[in-house]
Structure 1
Amino acid sequence: MYQTPSTSRERSYADGVVERAADERSTADRAPDVESATVCVVGLGYVGVPLAVAFDEQGYDIVGYDIDPDRVAEFRNDRDPTEELGDDRIADSQIRFTDDPTAIRDADYVLITVPTPLDSGQNPELAFVRSAAETVAEHVSEDTTIVLESTVYPGVTRDTVAPIVEEGSGFTLGDEFHVGYSPERLSPGDQGRTLQEAVKIVSADTARSLEELAALYDSAVDAGVYRAPSIETAEAAKVLENVQRDLNIALMNEMAIICDHLGLDTSEVIDAAATKWNFHDYSPGLVGGHCIPVDPLYLAHGSERAGFSPKLIFQGREVNEYMPKHVAEVTVKAFNAVGTVPRDARLLILGAAYKPNVGDIRTSEVKSLVAALGEYDVDCAVCDPVVDDEVIADAFGTETATLGSFDDFDGIVLATPHDAFADLDYERVAESLNSDPVFVDVDGVADRDEIGRAGYEYRRL
């Protein structure tokens, strides 16, 4: 009898979390006792800090290492510069924060959590991974297991990290040290999905190492662990998670462009389609961040190295990268509808960050939106209460505005719907704007009828 896909996946999940590698366990005997282990987290960012604190709260001896002495000093002074956990949990921890790499030699497990961005050519940039591996190699002790958590394309742990450690330490992989891969699944600013609440994928170079890592992570993750059959499987799974999201959003973004040409409201079309039981609910919008725009290009790079150039992945990226231009076009059409000449218009953009309630603009598509509006000579100012004005001005090359300063603007683009913007009385705001203002609601979060009654020309994707 054929099984439905969902049933098949449920069995696969059960195999991974509960029963996977039963034959390996016979080799590894039983899960080892890791309670007395020392864990060193290399890289104290939004991934490394929650990881270090989670293990610390389970009673492990934790070393938190970072190359930035200023960041280490903040942690030592009971401050959380990542703003992911808060100062109190840092103060309550017993973590040994240090910028001294010799502390790595104390560790039984070294967890590497460094950034993996793209370079100027949109190719994977592994400089941070290589540098971290070199540092670990110089100071690692024998019998240590080194785990990479950073997002990479399949093969990096075994083909890049392991050889660097072998060369720098003089140890042999599989005999004197081990490697594993356990991808991070955290989303900055998302308090609804903590480390403890997301199933942790674990993988390793040997059956015994796999069981050790499963026992280690399972002690800190309430949702349990999934034993991947190989390191490369785990690496591919991580990038697939965000490739899927990127492609689904790209579909909705392309649908938004189609609806704009057809004179249809995209949200109304999605609402109607969502009445079918197997419809997946995604919405159009700007796609920024450290994961969704990046991970597809990591997977595509790994695929091309293996001899296959994917098409759908690149096409999805092309659609999503076009959206700032589409939002600019929607805005210009709104100006035209009310008789405002775009080159004479002043526009207030609410939100600079790549997602709500996060103060990070490094990968925000709002910057591309400002540039696209600039092609129409629209004069833009950006307001973001969770990002410093100087940071916005330097990165975007545009004027900034404070929340509450709405005079002399001809319209608003709600680009990043921070909670602070939800409390605005847009009817009163309209009184400060020039006549016949436009309101472009990128994520479609505002009350359309309320905005319309306030006198705006309303648009959404």
Structure 2
Amino acid sequence: MTTPLSSPPGGERIAVIGLGYVGLPLAVALARRFDCIGIDIDSNRIAELKAGHDRTREVTPDTLADSGLRLSECIEDAQDTDIFIVTVPTPVDSANQPDLRPVLGATRAIAAILKRNAGTILVYESTVYPGVTEDVCGPELERLSGLKRGVDFFLGYSPERINPGDREHTVDRITKVIAGENAEVTERLATIYGAVTSGGVFRAASIKTAEAAKVIENAQRDINIAFMNEIAQIFGKIGLSVHDVLDAANTKWNFLRFAPGLVGGHCIGVDPYYLSYKAQQLGMLPRVVLAGRSINDGMSNYLADEVHSRLGKAGRVLMLGLTFKEDVPDLRNSKVVNVIERLKWIGHEVTIHDPLADPQEAAHEYGLHVDAAALDRRYDAVIAAVPHARYRGWNGEDIARIVESGGLVADIKGIWRDVELPPDLRRWQL
């Protein structure tokens, strides 16, 4: 028998913990309907947001200013909160094992300010393997707070579905999957999330079900992209472009078109490892999941080696793009970094250009220099690794200005397939 929850829906006081690509858009959406505070331990991030600047470019200054969202780096400022929503990252470590330190750090911070008999709900949005919310975070909250789950506080889960740079599938338009540890919690969450999205809510059968749904969403994409990367390598050996093959195959009504390339970022390149970790804990080897990860993780070396093979020698290489995907400044888990490392190891001199990447972040996270003047010089090879809008509009003359005569144009994503290059330039694409 659980204690009735306090604070009726509509008057909820909500705190979003973690204001990155996921947390900030959610907090802004919630602040339009509820008393909402956004908490982030990065004081620089809070200062930037208070000044109206979102470095992720997910929220405009006007939207941020009009939302009414309160901001703080101090968890104590959220001590009277009814609903905590945790949106911190869930990366993997160097051995590709789940790194739950950010989630546990947020959990411990919240535990320090939980109140007895308050009926507070803690909702996790961070991607985890099934069981983390109830079997890891719940016991940690009880241990540190001295309070009882199901009496003093309650658990919920609502997987994030933010796609950086996507202006169509925003948090206020998508369907939100929700789950509470009991029916009352679930309905309270349905009211809150339903108030901020036109896509409605889906009540999952359980918290573990909601956790599992999230982790397979990205694992499925990872596996499909892995198939594309594998066939790209097969077709490359017989002189076919996978993009030409996909154009033909896509005419079939039930063909699922995915694009080959580098798979990084904070979701698709990470989440399958959470699923495989849980499977191996249960004594099962997840062959398909791990095979997909192996293929996609190997693409960096494959691309670097193909470029080197076509150049025939070490040379000066320009890397166009460093972020993990097009038109976003997000550098997390960018596999372009691995391509650069491989090329340098072979002996190439690599220059990096990216109009969106933060040079300081690139230097801090990877020890790499982003050269704003890189397009003023010429190179033996140019690799279009990230199809930013800045590059997609180039014509043959634009490309020729940065490639030496006889040089190589490596168009990884096929953005210049229809661009006619000067006859003295060589072209290669997947």
The one-letter code matched in structure 2 to 1:295 is D
The one-letter code matched in structure 2 to 1:133 is T
Give the 3-state SS of the residue equivalent to 2:178 in structure 1.
Answer: strand
Extract unaligned runs of 5+ from structure 1: 1-26, 336-340
Residue aligning to 1:8: none
Extract unaligned runs of 5+ from structure 2: none
CA contact (8 A) 1:426 1:454 kept: no
Residue aligning to 1:116: 90
The one-letter code matched in structure 2 to 1:266 is V
Residue 280 of structure 2 is aligned to residue 314 of structure 1: no
What displacement does 1:55 show?
1.0
Residue aligning to 2:353: 383
What displacement does 1:395 show?
4.7
Separation of aligned partners in 1, 2:316 and 2:25:
42
CA contact (8 A) 2:323 2:336 kept: yes
What displacement does 1:121 show?
1.6
Matching residue within 366, 372, 391 for 1:421: 391
What displacement does 1:404 show?
6.2
What displacement does 1:258 show?
0.6
What displacement does 1:428 show?
4.1
Separation of aligned partners in 1, 2:51 and 2:367:
34
Matching residue within 26, 33, 37 for 1:51: 26
CA contact (8 A) 2:322 2:334 kept: yes
Separation of aligned partners in 1, 2:181 and 2:401:
65
Residue aligning to 1:364: 334
Residue 269 of structure 2 is aligned to residue 293 of structure 1: yes
Separation of aligned partners in 1, 2:244 and 2:349:
32
Task: Give the direction of change, closer, same or farther, for the CA distance of 1:183–1:170 in structure 2 (3 Å limit).
Answer: same
The one-letter code matched in structure 2 to 1:417 is P
Matching residue within 111, 115, 125 for 2:99: 125
Separation of aligned partners in 2, 1:390 and 1:102:
31
What are the residue-to-residue correspondences of 1:336-351 with 2, within 5 Å? Answer: 341-343=312-314, 345-351=315-321
The one-letter code matched in structure 1 to 2:356 is V
Deviation by residue 1:149-186 (Cα, 9 ceiling, x = unmatched): 10000000001111111122222111221100001000
Residue aligning to 1:452: 421
What displacement does 1:403 show?
5.3
The one-letter code matched in structure 2 to 1:112 is V
Which segment drifts farther, 70-79 or 174-183? 70-79
Residue aligning to 1:323: 299
Residue aligning to 1:172: 148
Deviation by residue 1:159-214 (Cα, 9 ceiling, x = unmatched): 11111111222221112211000010001222221001211000010011111111
Task: Give the direction of change, closer, same or farther, for the CA distance of 1:149–1:453 in structure 2 (3 Å limit).
Answer: same
Task: Give the direction of change, closer, same or farther, for the CA distance of 1:216–1:285 in structure 2 (3 Å limit).
Answer: same
What displacement does 1:322 show?
0.9
Separation of aligned partners in 1, 2:63 and 2:164:
17
What displacement does 1:215 show?
1.1
What are the residue-to-residue correspondences of 1:69-148 with 2, within 5 Å? Answer: 69-141=43-115, 142-148=118-124
Which segment drifts farther, 431-440 or 47-56? 431-440
What displacement does 1:363 show?
0.9
Separation of aligned partners in 2, 1:415 and 1:353:
9
CA contact (8 A) 1:380 1:399 kept: no
Residue aligning to 1:22: none
What are the residue-to-residue correspondences of 1:25-36 with 2, within 5 Å? Answer: 33-36=8-11
What are the residue-to-residue correspondences of 1:242-321 with 2, within 5 Å? Answer: 242-321=218-297
What displacement does 1:397 show?
4.8
| Superposition CA RMSD, Å | 2.1
What displacement does 1:70 show?
2.4
Separation of aligned partners in 1, 2:221 and 2:402:
39
Matching residue within 28, 37, 41 for 2:12: 37
CA contact (8 A) 2:222 2:293 kept: yes
Separation of aligned partners in 2, 1:455 and 1:366:
27
Deviation by residue 1:117-143 (Cα, 9 ceiling, x = unmatched): 111221000011111111111102321
What displacement does 1:390 show?
4.6
Give the 3-state SS of the residue equivalent to 1:436 in structure 2.
Answer: strand
**Larger relative helix fraction:** 1
Give the 3-state SS of the residue equivalent to 1:78 in structure 2.
Answer: coil
Percent identical residues: 38
Separation of aligned partners in 1, 2:309 and 2:187:
59
Task: Give the direction of change, closer, same or farther, for the CA distance of 1:135–1:431 in structure 2 (3 Å limit).
Answer: closer
Which segment drifts farther, 71-80 or 127-136? 71-80
CA contact (8 A) 1:253 1:320 kept: yes
What displacement does 1:396 show?
4.7
> In the comparison of the two structures, how many residue pairs are matched?
425
The one-letter code matched in structure 2 to 1:130 is L
Task: Give the direction of change, closer, same or farther, for the CA distance of 1:428–1:114 in structure 2 (3 Å limit).
Answer: closer
What displacement does 1:372 show?
1.9
Residue aligning to 1:16: none
CA contact (8 A) 2:322 2:354 kept: yes
Separation of aligned partners in 2, 1:75 and 1:430:
41
Task: Give the direction of change, closer, same or farther, for the CA distance of 1:158–1:331 in structure 2 (3 Å limit).
Answer: same
What displacement does 1:87 show?
1.4
Give the 3-state SS of the residue equivalent to 1:452 in structure 2.
Answer: coil
